[in-house]
């Protein structure tokens, strides 16, 4: 019953998390586009009101005319829409999902079964520490260097170094799948903390000053904008890390920390292309194609680097030699690690491995998933040792025969 209830919790939390993330990322992308696409107002009345930029757009059968005021409008309206619940809901549902899926089963997902570095309890503490410590260090970097001359470049370089160190440590401490997910959670925590500790409090101070009849301090807008820009560059790396748990050849590679860094870098470079593309259309900057080219080149480089080694042709051993194929050992491992998800009760992806005929029919897939990609068993690939994977390798390369 516990497993059944956890599955339902996982499903409902994942559903909520994806919906909230779509809303948060969508609003973030929209406002980055809006801010980059504003042009100086033409109407003199708007200029006298302090409008700094405007945009005309058409969507859904209507015309829209958003404007942006420099620091604040001359008169505060009675109703303001605040954008923060998208962020908070995404983080809260994501943390709950992390707890249900990984922290609750830390002994399976956060600890290497073949080489445990810590107890499950310590693994939970270490996972939570990744979220907290990264935020504290990142926030300190922004506080110290964010307002200096060339501060954005300095902050960007230091945060890149911090992310690289985090990726290396995570992949050394945790199994690859958990390490990738925790890196995504780490960056997402910083994104939501930016909203909670800086962006929204700064906006509230501006609103409070306006209601008190005082001129708001423009530093709040500058700080909020800086953190918002950081969030937009974190977005694609976070989404990659969250989706990567479906692709074992990424997180099971011996240099998985480097794979993670390169893929995150590619995502950030591609995001930079889209951010600058809006300004290019208005003649504010050159064409940002080099960023897209660098991002795509890195992706293609990783694709070539991680390509699977072609399987050798099955040996033409005589029938007498095939009698000693190791199928009994293969079948024992399949029964122990695979049939729970690939049997008559579940049959994940319509694959069953509970009979010799089914095993032989899926021999190529078994070889790819277990030997080449090292993705299976799903969620805990380190449950199979290299020696056990060698059993599958010898069986397949011997022609994948099965017992009569």
Q: Which DSSP string corresponds to 31-99?
A: HHHHHHH-B----HHHHHHTEEEE--EEETTEEE--EEESSS-SS--S------HHHHHHHHHHHHHHI
pTM as predicted = 0.80
Same domain, 127 and 257: yes
Number of domains within the chain: 2
pLDDT digits (tens, 9 = 90+) for 294-321: 999 999 999 999 887 665 554 444 444 4
Q: What does 107-162 look like in DSSP terms, one character per residue?
A: HHHTS-SSS--S-HHHHHHHHHHHHHHHHHHHHHHHHHHTTSTTHHHHHHHHHHHH
Closest CA to 231 of 165, 291, 303, 159: 159
Same domain, 332 and 256: no
pLDDT at 250: 87
Q: How far apart are CA 89 and CA 122, in angstroms?
A: 27
**Residue finishing a domain among 237, 272, 305:** 305
Per DSSP, the three-state class of 62 is strand
pLDDT at 140: 97
Same domain, 112 and 217: yes
34 inside domain = no
Same domain, 338 and 285: no
123 inside domain = yes
Same domain, 200 and 331: no
**Residue finishing a domain among 273, 305, 337:** 305
Per DSSP, the three-state class of 216 is coil
Q: Using an 8 Å Cβ cutoff, are 189 and 135 in contact?
A: yes
Same domain, 121 and 256: yes
Same domain, 327 and 280: no
Q: How far apart are CA 285 and CA 229, in angstroms?
A: 17
Same domain, 185 and 108: yes
147 inside domain = yes
Same domain, 244 and 125: yes
Same domain, 301 and 332: no
**Residue finishing a domain among 279, 305, 331:** 305
pLDDT at 320: 41
């520490």: which residue's tokens? 129
186 inside domain = yes
CB atoms within 10 A of CB 312: 9
Helix H, strand E, coil C: the string for 228-297 is HHHHHHHHHHHHHHHHHHHCHHHHCCCCHHHHHHHHHHHHHHHHHHHHHHHHHHCCCCCCCHHHHHHHHH
Q: How far apart are CA 276 and CA 289, in angstroms?
A: 9
90 inside domain = no
């025969």: which residue's tokens? 401
Same domain, 119 and 235: yes
51 inside domain = no
Same domain, 182 and 210: yes
84 inside domain = no
Could you say which residues of the chain have pLDDT below 50?
Answer: 314-324
Q: Using an 8 Å Cβ cutoff, are 152 and 124 in contact?
A: no
Per DSSP, the three-state class of 387 is helix
Find the distance separating the first CA and the last CA of the chain, reported in whole Å: 38
Is the bond into 137 cis (omega within 30 degrees of 0)?
no
Full domain range(s) for residue 336:
319-397
pLDDT at 316: 44
């509970």: which residue's tokens? 354
310 inside domain = no
């Amino acid at each position: 019953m516990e497993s059944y209830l956890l599955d339902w919790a996982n499903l409902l939390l994942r559903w909520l998390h994806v919906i909230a993330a779509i809303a948060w990322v969508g609003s973030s992308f929209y406002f980055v586009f809006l801010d980059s696409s504003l042009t100086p107002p033409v109407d003199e009345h708007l200029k006298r009101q302090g409008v700094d930029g405007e945009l005309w757009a058409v969507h859904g059968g209507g015309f829209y005319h958003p404007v942006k005021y420099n620091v604040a409008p001359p008169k505060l309206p009675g109703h303001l829409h605040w954008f923060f619940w998208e962020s908070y809901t995404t983080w809260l549902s994501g943390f709950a999902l992390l707890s249900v899926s990984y922290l609750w089963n830390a002994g399976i997902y956060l600890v290497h079964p073949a080489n445990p570095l810590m107890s499950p309890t310590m693994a939970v503490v270490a996972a939570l520490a990744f979220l907290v410590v990264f935020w504290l260090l990142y926030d300190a970097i922004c506080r110290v260097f964010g307002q200096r001359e060339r501060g954005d470049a300095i902050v960007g370089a230091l945060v890149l170094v911090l992310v690289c160190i985090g990726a290396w440590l995570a992949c050394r401490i945790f199994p690859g799948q958990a390490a990738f997910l925790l890196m995504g959670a780490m960056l997402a925590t910083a994104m939501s903390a930016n909203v909670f500790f800086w962006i929204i409090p700064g906006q509230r101070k501006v609103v409070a000053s306006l209601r008190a009849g005082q001129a708001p301090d423009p530093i709040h807008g500058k700080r909020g904008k800086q953190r918002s820009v950081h969030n937009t560059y974190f977005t694609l790396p976070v989404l990659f890390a969250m989706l990567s748990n479906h692709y074992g050849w990424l997180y099971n590679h011996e240099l998985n920390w480097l794979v993670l860094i390169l893929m995150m870098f590619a995502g950030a470079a591609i995001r930079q292309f889209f951010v600058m593309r809006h300004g290019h259309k208005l003649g504010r900057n050159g064409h940002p194609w080099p960023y897209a080219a660098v991002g795509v080149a890195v992706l293609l480089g990783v694709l070539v680097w991680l390509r699977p080694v072609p399987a050798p042709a099955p040996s033409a051993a005589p029938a007498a030699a095939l009698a000693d194929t190791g199928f009994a050992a293969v079948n024992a491992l399949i029964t122990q690690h695979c049939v729970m998800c690939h049997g008559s009760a579940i049959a994940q992806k319509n694959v069953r491995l509970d009979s010799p005929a089914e095993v032989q029919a899926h021999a190529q897939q078994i070889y790819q998933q277990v030997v080449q990609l090292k993705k299976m068993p799903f969620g805990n690939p380190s449950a199979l040792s290299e020696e056990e994977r060698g059993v599958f390798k010898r069986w397949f390369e011997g022609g994948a025969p099965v017992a009569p």
